Structure 1
């Protein structure tokens, strides 16, 4: 949840920054929005900026998911180039429609010459002044006299050297295209990186879900067989614990089937599940196995990933139980606000190959901790000659 809120905050700040930048641009060039100067290309530059933002959004949401990730690279490249060409041409065309009258010869070549006139193709002359568009016919009157439409072009400002917006306000067409292409490439690479990271996280989450499903299917037959034998022995002796043991086994299996696939479960349920597991172990083991289980702190309102704690306790029974020798398992669980501490100690014994093993193992639970509680957990494992010790510190969400 905190990571999602942080990502949303960063996205909001990025959007606000991108929307504020045009205002800073207008302030920096001392623009008069009521009467913009076409020779500074304010409309063209702003429209180019917003079209680049639109391209980045469409590239991220449509082009990359639909064509790049489906390996249709040729079509994706073609569409990107078409979009970048549109970003280059459309602002100039709109600026011409807003400020300039149509050409005297309204043909395709006439419009091309009207849009890509010398000011756009070449840098300004020395002194910062720009050349006006050349007439189409050198023998006839100027364009302004031949057109039946009134010009909407405001009177051109005469800038003294050093006062004009200069080459930066109207770079050559080749430089402008290079900048737009560079920004398009940067936007594409950034979108690819974000999309790839999102797909990787989705794959990691799917892997975790698969591991949990595998865990549910790997309840070791030896454990169920031994537990059912213990229940049968209790029933033969008409022990009062028979019904209670059957109920605990049912609750144990219900948790595995219905809760373990969730991303988070209540800490109360996880601790109750561990308690049922320990009760089942006590029912089938002899008195030579000493099990100590202590829980301290408030459990209500806390959430935890399912089966994380259980795996360490299961590992203690796997390596620390042998009915023919003195076995000792000590478990302490402490909760203080959002901090959880688990300490599991077991004495090493022999001939324990038939004990429960769910198959997920310590290595897998370490990987789950890394993915689910990155930078929020500390795990210390002590593998001594005569004992095994797990010390886990966890920050709960």
Structure 2
């Protein structure tokens, strides 16, 4: 959505928010006599405070407290905001004619004109603003998660089926076939399994952890097939995946990054990938020495940054990610609480 359209929607919404209560109010407070009087001034102050609260809630409170599950602190803060939006107009304009002058003899509900009625009126408006701000923020967060997921799916689908990847992998398989190697059938099966996983499984919210690990195994073994003795590779998987599930393609960016930027035919290449499962906890350790120095190195952080965002959205307060980027080596340590 463009900024202009977004601004128009917000402006229209706030105009309706200000006008509708005035147009449909049954009481005398909004008569021609008082429209530009003290009551309207206090209403405008209250509405300005509510607008400020709306954006404060959207930009700060929901992100820092609600999404991090600090619910008690969050509701205490919005309770304080409610008191501010309710009391400040009375403190700024204490001599409101509604309370300092006799109420005109116009038919109205018995409670109208009382402080209790004003409190209830303000509470209703505040609740509506709170509900709308929460709904919008949660909706935007969900859309962002879906967009990041789609971006990850498309990027890795492209990475796995691009001609360069297929050429190198198929060329390695062809070499094995020429040599009549016993590894040829398994290499074809691994590539086929990887393609099937990316196409059919990666569109799910969560997949079997065993399937994700199988994809990583196939990827590592195919890379080893391509580079052979050119790399010193250590690959370990310990523990039982059990019935655990995980977001698809959430681990492979760190493994792929090691092979993409840790292999050079002219230098010694060392890569270590270790995955451990302990009940519902998964630990991933990836290490590679730096040998890649060409222009694409500037893009190396994009996949990892996208994955960092996905982790924050999918596993808030349930993961720890430590990335160490030294001059000569690069390492990743990731821990995820799957349940």
TM-score under structure 1 normalisation? 0.56
Question: Given the superposition, is the C-alpha separation of residues 85 and 208 from structure 1 closer, same or farther in structure 2, using an over 3 Å criterion?
Answer: farther
Unaligned runs of 5+ in 1: 1-67, 87-120, 124-133, 135-169
Distance 2:293 2:14 in 1: 59
Correspondence for 2:130: 190
Q: Secondary structure at the match of 1:307?
A: coil
Q: Does 1:328 align with 2:276?
A: no
Q: How many angstroms does 1:122 deviate by?
A: 9.3
Q: How many angstroms does 1:205 deviate by?
A: 2.2
1:231–1:245 contact (8 Å) kept in structure 2: yes
Distance 1:76 1:244 in 2: 65
2:257–2:300 contact (8 Å) kept in structure 1: no
2:237–2:274 contact (8 Å) kept in structure 1: yes
Distance 2:263 2:206 in 1: 30
Question: Given the superposition, is the C-alpha separation of residues 280 and 80 from structure 1 closer, same or farther in structure 2, using an over 3 Å criterion?
Answer: farther
Distance 1:340 1:122 in 2: 64
Question: Given the superposition, is the C-alpha separation of residues 384 and 283 from structure 1 closer, same or farther in structure 2, using an over 3 Å criterion?
Answer: same
1:322–1:351 contact (8 Å) kept in structure 2: no
Distance 2:321 2:131 in 1: 36
1:139-174 deviations in Å (ceiling 9; x for gaps): xxxxxxxxxxxxxxxxxxxxxxxxxxxxxxx76636
Q: How many angstroms does 1:189 deviate by?
A: 1.1
Q: How many angstroms does 1:359 deviate by?
A: 8.7
Question: Given the superposition, is the C-alpha separation of residues 347 and 218 from structure 1 closer, same or farther in structure 2, using an over 3 Å criterion?
Answer: same
Q: How many angstroms does 1:242 deviate by?
A: 1.8
Unaligned runs of 5+ in 2: 1-8, 28-97
Distance 1:348 1:84 in 2: 70
Distance 1:230 1:201 in 2: 43
Correspondence for 1:237: 179
Correspondence for 1:376: 318
1:212–1:261 contact (8 Å) kept in structure 2: no
Q: Does 1:396 align with 2:338?
A: yes
Q: Does 1:246 align with 2:188?
A: yes
TM-score under structure 2 normalisation? 0.65
Correspondence for 2:223: 281
Q: Secondary structure at the match of 1:285?
A: helix
1:327–1:349 contact (8 Å) kept in structure 2: yes
Question: Given the superposition, is the C-alpha separation of residues 182 and 353 from structure 1 closer, same or farther in structure 2, using an over 3 Å criterion?
Answer: closer
Correspondence for 1:228: 170
Correspondence for 1:212: 152
Question: Given the superposition, is the C-alpha separation of residues 289 and 186 from structure 1 closer, same or farther in structure 2, using an over 3 Å criterion?
Answer: same
